Structure 1
């Protein structure tokens, strides 16, 4: 006994890439799940700037998670130690332990990288 299976490549591609196709729906579900995790893991209000997109490229369907917050690169990559100087005034003003402090220079120690998008991808799999 022999069995022969023939696949219509065009029909299969339409099934997988169609707007309501199985592969597209599953990809959308997974991308949304990872985006929800990323929004929860993001510091401050950065999670409000996360959006998703499904793109069809030369390698097939791709799920894309986008964070359009202006400081996202500084959070993901971290910062080196740096100096902070006043721009518009002659001094900086901030509170430390309830006391108001004025100074002309702050030596910021830098920040560690926070790869919250990569962590969300790992947790969302």
Structure 2
């Protein structure tokens, strides 16, 4: 069964979620997992694409937008199904992915922004209703 984790950041800074996504994508890729970063919209996809180019000066994180190369080690997209199954989904969207079962692990990144906390609490309950056992991880 897919492992679901909610990584909780201590602040409400929106950029912190993007940096955490980059860090997690780098770790997942280094551990041999295919990584799909699911964004809210195309603008967030493009912003994350730019951030991944500059995130680590000493190490390149091989990534691409889904429309360009859905088989890249780290793929950035929205609602597209993953080209590789059993990888890592990093969900920055406010909704659950319709492709959750195609991943071995899903990470939801939460910060202290009140609206996002409310949405993520609802998503936590939805995962439980669907038979998953989501965990909370404080960062």
The two structures have a TM-score, normalised by structure 2, of 0.26
Task: Name which one, 1 or 2, has greater alpha-carbon Rg.
Answer: 1
Q: Identify the structure with bigger relative contact order (alpha carbons < 8 Å, sequence gap 6+).
A: 2
Q: TM-score, with normalisation over the residues of structure 1? A: 0.28
